[in-house]
Amino acid sequence: MLKQILPIAAAASLGFSSLAAAEPLPPLPSATCIAPSGPGGGWDFTCRSVGRTLNQLELIENPVQTVNMPGAGGGVAYAHIASKRDTDPTLFAAASTATPTRLAQNQFPGMDVSQMHWIGAVGADYGIIAVRAESPYSDLKTLMQAIKEDPRSVSFAGGSAAGGWDHLKILMTAEKAGVTAPEALKYLSYNNAGDAATQVAGGHVDAFSGNISQALGFYKSGDFRILAVLAEERLPGNLDDIPTAQEQGIDAVAPTWRGFYAPGGISDEQRDWWVAALDQLNHSAEWQAVMAQNGLMPFAKTGEDFEAFVRQQIGEISRLSRQVGLM
């Protein structure tokens, strides 16, 4: 129980019903973050960087232990927490857009979103659609019009498998643009985003679906024209000249977020502690510096807002996946 691992006086005086708004938040003595991947991956980075920052903010007293648990695209870690550590209030696990994607497509057999508390997101790498500099497609509307006229006339390259997030970003955008048969779109899967981007820059594939961080080098070198960023607002700094899809009349938003879930068996009060901790992290100068150093954009949804977002994302991905025959 969280009351047992917090200082007794602090726990007694705090009042768990107001925990999320409390200042200062009483620290945990220790915590473990499960990264559902091997060392060096995105989930590993999320655990380690957030763990260090929580220590810097004195929200967790001792260094946060990162435990790598790869397998089944995150399914091994998800099942382990659900079956063996469901009531551990000192445990949290890294997640990203890939997690609800796999849940939506039933890739975690026998498991669902309700088995975890979705405590918050701490940043995002937004989706983009890009073409080579010499492409005849000058904006997103022009590209989508070509697809409306002939869904097979434009080829897309991405670093995820068919049915993965890069593929789904194209399907979502096409559907929002009024394409009536998104399942007919030509999507080519490559080993990674770098290979996919190289094929587009070389003129072998028409368009690239990926994240802004993956396209940045090609954009700065002049090899890419980014037709749209799939964000609610233009990106900050020297990326503010890239239009959003929404500006072009296509209501497509596709963040590749980084965040966390906690075991579903912990209490509401224990969940609220984690939500409050991530709120403090998101608003800290220390975390802003980490985001700037690693190309993350702000995406600070926590608590009920984040859980509602994850559930909505699962619903949309599930519907699209069934529509195009991926399930």
How do residues 157-194 score in pLDDT, each as one tens digit? 998 888 889 999 999 999 999 998 888 899 999 988 89
How do residues 260-289 score in pLDDT, each as one tens digit? 999 999 999 999 999 999 999 999 999 999
- Provide the pLDDT for residue 69: 96
How do residues 100-110 score in pLDDT, each as one tens digit? 999 999 999 99
Domain with CATH 3.40.190.150 in the chain: 2-124+255-323
- Provide the pLDDT for residue 3: 36
- Per the CB < 8 A criterion, the answer to whether 261 and 95 are in contact is yes
- Provide the pLDDT for residue 18: 36
CA 326/CA 22 separation, integer angstroms: 45
Residue 319 has pLDDT above 50, yes or no: yes
- Provide the pLDDT for residue 222: 95
CA 263/CA 302 separation, integer angstroms: 16
More confident residue, 12 or 305: 305
- Provide the pLDDT for residue 163: 86
Closest by CA position to 218, among listed 207, 234, 231: 207
CA 327/CA 310 separation, integer angstroms: 19
- Provide the pLDDT for residue 132: 97
Amino acid in the structure at residue 147: I
- Provide the pLDDT for residue 108: 94
- Per the CB < 8 A criterion, the answer to whether 117 and 278 are in contact is no
Q: Is 225 helix (H, G, I), strand (E, B) or coil?
A: strand
Domain with CATH 3.40.190.10 in the chain: 126-248
Element (H, E) at 274: helix 268-282
Taking residues 116-137, what's their average pLDDT? 96
Q: Which fold has domain 126-248?
A: D-Maltodextrin-Binding Protein; domain 2 (3.40.190)
- Provide the pLDDT for residue 192: 87
Q: What's the pTM value of the predicted model, to 2 decimals? A: 0.82
Closest by CA position to 134, among listed 76, 229, 54, 206: 206
CATH 3.40.190.150 given to domain 2-124+255-323: yes
- Per the CB < 8 A criterion, the answer to whether 66 and 51 are in contact is yes
How do residues 241-260 score in pLDDT, each as one tens digit? 999 999 999 999 999 999 99
- Provide the pLDDT for residue 284: 97
CA 256/CA 160 separation, integer angstroms: 13
Residue 12 has pLDDT above 50, yes or no: no
- Provide the pLDDT for residue 1: 35
- Provide the pLDDT for residue 40: 84
Taking residues 202-207, what's their average pLDDT? 97
How do residues 62-82 score in pLDDT, each as one tens digit? 999 999 999 998 999 999 999
CA 156/CA 189 separation, integer angstroms: 9
| Residue whose token pair is 């796999």 | 102
Residue 19 has pLDDT above 80, yes or no: no
Band of the pLDDT at 23, cuts 50, 70, 90?
low
- Provide the pLDDT for residue 323: 81
Quote the tokens at residue 111: 């498991």
